[in-house]
Structures are given as structure tokens and as C-alpha cells.
Amino acid sequence: MEKSILEAEVREIGSKQARKLVRNSGKVPGIYYSKHDSPVHLAVSEKAINPLVYTAETHLVSLKVDGKELDCVIKDVQFDPITDRVVHFDLIGLTSGETFQLEVPVQLHGTPVGIKEGGIVQHLIHKIELECLPKDIPQRIDIDISELKIGDSIHVKDLKIENITFLNPEDSVIVSVSHPKVEKEPVEGEEAAGEEQAEPEVIGKGKGEEEEE
């Protein structure tokens, strides 16, 4: 996997107001942390971080800060609930030979056979948590769903990728093709019975009004 270069500057630990000033300057506050280094509080340009966030792939990042180059990946991102802009991010440092955990996007390929039968695709898991060495990080998990028929599904246990351990429960359904929902039409006898049940309520209400008068 190619590395995406991310240039950053060290920022002082401050209050919410200080972080707001960073954002107002067109930059995004973040933090880098790892098992072997002290946390580094960062500020990067919004234009630099956006391509690494608004994507369907995982990026291996080469962080350039304070004269150093640190290998890492984006671990967590916080978004503004109204504008959807990135307001904070976490980077986790990578160490060669040491496994770590991260979430990787799932991408589906193909048109299921079940679609032609009237089935509906249900994509239930869009990101899968896994553990691997830095050299084995996948950009995404590709799944071919073209052979799925109505009633078929793909579970986490069905994924077999060398040197990767999936951490989601094995029985978790990633994608399935289900039967289309069919609205139940009322039976003629049931509809008539419903009308008969409603009629005494109307009569009763009328009697009550006459008594009050």
C-alpha cells in the first residue's frame, strides 16, 4: 500500500476555544499516539486531511511533523453534526512487526442472482474490525456478491484473507439477499368483521349524547 503524506504542525494543548481558533484558521486539530511515543497534538490543513477521510479506502499515512516522519493510520474522526466537516481526528502510530487493530471499509462487487428473482440486497456491515501487521493492512475488504440467491448471505466467518484476523463476531451477517416485503391484503371476512365491531361503538356514542341533552 502506498503512503499518503500528511504534513502537520505541533499545537499546544488548549481549551475548546483554542481548538475552535485552529478550525477558524482553516486547520483541523488532531492527535497522534502510539505504544512507544508520547502523544503529539497536531494541526493540519483541512484540504490535506479531507482526502484521507472522505474515502472508501484505508490509507497508510506518513506523518511529517517536527522534523520527523511517522507511519500511522487514521483511527477515529469526529464530524460536525450540521456541516459534516472534520472537527478532530486521531492517528495511531504503527510499529513494524507489531499487530494492531483498525476498521477497514467493505466494498461489494457484482449484481446478485437473487436480484433478478426480485430479491433485495441488504448491506449490514460497512466497516469490519480486524487485526494485522502494518505490512498487511488492506485498503478495503472486497466481497463478490454476484452468486448470492434469495435467502443467501455472507458472514464474517466466510472471509478468508491471509495474515488477517477478523474481530467481529463470526456469525455477523455482512450482506444478504432477502425476499421482497409483501404487504398483507385484508381478508374479506376480516374486513366485514371489523366494520361490525365498529358499529356498536357509534350507536353507543349516540345514546350518550342523548342522555346528556
The structure's pTM equals 0.74
CATH of 3-95 given 3.60.10.10, 3.40.50.300, 2.60.40.10, 2.40.240.10:
2.40.240.10
Q: What share of the chain is helix, strand, coil (3-state, %, to 5)?
A: 25, 40, 40
Q: Do the beta carbons of residue 77 and residue 85 sit within 8 Å? A: no
- Cell numbers 451477517: residue: 173
What is the grid cell recorded at 149? 440467491
Using alpha carbons, list the distances in angstroms from residue 57 to 95, 103, 106, 129, 134. 21, 10, 9, 14, 15
The residues with which 10 forms a beta bridge, in sequence order, are: 42
Model confidence pLDDT, tens digit, residues 154-205: 999 999 999 999 999 999 999 999 988 765 665 665 554 555 554 444 444 4
Model confidence pLDDT, tens digit, residues 3-35: 899 999 998 776 666 677 777 788 999 999 998
Q: Among positive and negative, which fits the CA dihedral 113, 116, 122, 125?
A: positive
Asked if the domains 3-95 and 103-178 are classified in one and the same CATH topology, the answer is no
Domains of the chain by residue range: 3-95, 103-178
**What does DSSP say about strands 60-65 and 3-7: parallel, antiparallel, or unpaired?**
parallel
Model confidence pLDDT, tens digit, residues 117-130: 899 999 999 999 99
Cα–Cα dist 73/60, whole Å: 5
pLDDT computed for residue 208 by the predictor: 44
pLDDT computed for residue 22 by the predictor: 78
pLDDT computed for residue 204 by the predictor: 44
pLDDT computed for residue 101 by the predictor: 92
Q: What is the dihedral of CA 17, 23, 25, 26, to 10 degrees?
A: 180
CATH of 103-178 given 2.60.40.1580, 2.170.120.20, 2.40.50.140, 3.90.1410.10:
2.170.120.20
DSSP 168-191: S-TT-EEEEEEPPP-PPPPPHHHH
pLDDT computed for residue 211 by the predictor: 39
Model confidence pLDDT, tens digit, residues 52-107: 999 889 999 999 998 899 999 999 999 989 999 999 999 999 998 999 999 999 99
